[in-house]
Structure 1
Amino acid sequence: MTNEQYIEAIEKRHSRRAFKPKHLADDVKDVIKQMVDVVNESAGLDFVFVDDATPFFKIFSGKFSMIIVAGPDSQKAREDCGYYGESIVLQCVYHGLGTCWVSGTYNENKVYESFDFPSEKRVYAVIAIGYARDRYSIVEKSMYSATHKKSKSYQDMIEVCDEKLPEAYSYALKLVEKGPSAVNRRPVKFRYENGIFSAYVDEPYSDKSIDFGIAKLHFVIGTRAKGINGKWSLENVFEVSEPQRLKFEPKENNDEQ
């Protein structure tokens, strides 16, 4: 997917809990499995695709699959689970699927019982994926109303700002506003001091770090849209990369005269 397509997916994404009464097509499942494999290999995580996720839920309806978002028991793994899990979500949304990040309204014990996770691995959340119904259900409308009464703007998430934010950062933070967050709490706090942009959450060893990872991905997508190529350091500082310049060296003429 292009960066523009990711932005399109961010704009259209809504959490869905009511799905059509049919499972994902086999070719769609194959693509999602491939994305899961790529994430696990590149990020050292332990995502698992589950074909039929209905036994693990009560308030969701219809037929749907899920991705178990799991990895090592560390702060970095928590953030990476959010970052890479959201990348899969956005790809699914762009291609017309309904998704929902879930951290509390599924049977976590049953997940652990059904899948053999080593003791040093943790299940941090699951992502439901299916063909969303054309209209929102009563449950979906009720949950949306309950969790979106106090939606934070990106200005509310900025803890310190000693000068005007660059336009690219302001735009990126607007995309952060549109990211999923447990009960819409948006726990990430941003700081812009002496030209350095950084972020953190109060309780890094909690599910807040899932939200943090999601926010970091949305921020990177936003800055790239404005021509800034950067990445988050291990200290959660956004580091801007210098544009690479191609150097063309004249070839020496080694042909015999």
Structure 2
Amino acid sequence: MNITLESIESRRSVRSFTGTPLSDDQREALETALEQSGPCPFGSVPRFRIVESGSHAAMASGRIGTYGIIGNAPCFIVGAVKSTPYGFVDFGYALEGIALWAVGAGLGTCWLGGTFDRSGVARSMNLSPDEVIPAIMPIGEPAERRTLIDATMRVLAGSRNRKPWSELFFDNQFDVPLVDAGPWARVLEAVRSGPSASNKQPWRIVRTGSAGKLAFHLFLHEDRSYNNAIKGIRIQELDIGIAMRHLEAAALALGLPGKWERLETPPVAYMEPLRYFSSWIM
């Protein structure tokens, strides 16, 4: 899946749509994007399908998730994944890849991980006993004007606000903020600009090494009560997958080297509520 840096940097959550159905060409391209959303870093294989709004009217209007109110979405991307130790991370990685592809295709999306009709969606997915539906995503042509509710929810969510670098990125250890990221500054900014549940921005990254032996180690600053607020769904692990996709896609777009690898021994000292997930190794 080809994702440009411009798509990453211009991505925003869209809650207001024109209601125009996807064209046959758009739908075919979206189906291809769903198929090409992997492979995922931890080896999970999320599966996705397109659900028309008319077939699930309860999802087409009303408060259906933590990002607020959705208006006139022609369809939704619905996905399922096995509830494994890193399944939610892989789901976040895959679905965010689709969201970034959508930007380049002129379509809008929004993560919905909260209170939508999971039972109805589950029936449409024919879930196996070990599968769950972590989130859904409306997709369609963005409306020129946001609805009043949309604009209000965007303000309440603080969608434009981002934590400063000093709270997110560190140099060799967690008490030293990263000051000079060199050519990796735009990559880390791509992570910083990514969406997260309730805009909590729970990712933390520590850079180690020097020159051609740099590594970036990804941690979750976990809010345990929030992460487990939805039974069976570890919602902040979706955010880690989103961060992984943004870092990887930005690095590839800039021609910078590396790949994701989970190290057996975490490379830096850390304390709860931090949890280590993976490292971008050159």
TM-score by length of 2: 0.75
Size of the alignment, in residue pairs?
238
Q: How far apart are residue 127 of structure 1 and its match?
A: 1.2
Aligned pair 1:167/2:182, yes or no? Answer: yes
**1:230-249 Cα deviation digits (max 9, x unpaired):** 11113401111xxxxxxxxx
Q: How far apart are residue 11 of structure 1 and its match?
A: 2.3
Conserved in 2, the CA contact under 8 Å of 1:67 and 1:126?
A: yes
Counterpart residue number, 2:216 = 197
Q: How far apart are residue 144 of structure 1 and its match?
A: 1.0
Aligned pair 1:152/2:163, yes or no? Answer: yes
**1:142-182 Cα deviation digits (max 9, x unpaired):** 11111117531333113524875531332211111211111
Conserved in 1, the CA contact under 8 Å of 2:99 and 2:109?
A: yes
Say which is worse superposed, 110-119 or 194-203, in terms of deviation.
194-203
2-structure distance, mates of 1:152, 1:68 = 30
Aligned pair 1:230/2:258, yes or no? Answer: yes
Conserved in 2, the CA contact under 8 Å of 1:40 and 1:46?
A: no
Conserved in 2, the CA contact under 8 Å of 1:54 and 1:63?
A: no
Conserved in 1, the CA contact under 8 Å of 2:166 and 2:178?
A: no
Q: CA separation of 1:193/1:229 partners in 2, compared to 1, >3 Å: closer, same or farther?
A: closer
Correspondence list, 1:13-32, <5 A: 13-32=11-30
1-structure distance, mates of 2:163, 2:190 = 12
1-structure distance, mates of 2:57, 2:106 = 20
Counterpart residue number, 2:32 = 34
Say which is worse superposed, 123-132 or 216-225, in terms of deviation.
216-225
Say which is worse superposed, 204-213 or 14-23, in terms of deviation.
204-213
2-structure distance, mates of 1:227, 1:197 = 16
Conserved in 2, the CA contact under 8 Å of 1:98 and 1:131?
A: yes
What amino acid maps onto 2:168 in structure 1? M
Conserved in 2, the CA contact under 8 Å of 1:99 and 1:130?
A: yes
Q: CA separation of 1:40/1:71 partners in 2, compared to 1, >3 Å: closer, same or farther?
A: farther
Aligned pair 1:82/2:124, yes or no? Answer: no
Counterpart residue number, 2:45 = 44
Aligned pair 1:73/2:88, yes or no? Answer: no
SS at match of 2:36: helix
Aligned pair 1:214/2:242, yes or no? Answer: yes
Conserved in 2, the CA contact under 8 Å of 1:179 and 1:214?
A: yes
1-structure distance, mates of 2:8, 2:150 = 19
Counterpart residue number, 1:140 = 150
Conserved in 1, the CA contact under 8 Å of 2:17 and 2:143?
A: yes
Counterpart residue number, 2:274 = none
Counterpart residue number, 1:8 = 6
2-structure distance, mates of 1:38, 1:225 = 17
Counterpart residue number, 2:195 = 180
Q: CA separation of 1:12/1:142 partners in 2, compared to 1, >3 Å: closer, same or farther?
A: same
Q: CA separation of 1:24/1:113 partners in 2, compared to 1, >3 Å: closer, same or farther?
A: same
SS at match of 1:192: strand
What amino acid maps onto 2:183 in structure 1? A
2-structure distance, mates of 1:41, 1:228 = 20
Which of 1 and 2 has greater Rg?
A: 1
Q: How far apart are residue 2 of structure 1 and its match?
A: 4.7
SS at match of 2:218: strand
Correspondence list, 1:104-143, <5 A: 104-143=114-153
Q: How far apart are residue 210 of structure 1 and its match?
A: 0.9
2-structure distance, mates of 1:156, 1:61 = 34
Q: How far apart are residue 226 of structure 1 and its match?
A: 4.1
Counterpart residue number, 2:281 = 239
**Identity across the alignment (%):** 24
What amino acid maps onto 1:34 in structure 2? T
Q: How far apart are residue 222 of structure 1 and its match?
A: 2.8
Q: How far apart are residue 75 of structure 1 and its match?
A: 3.2
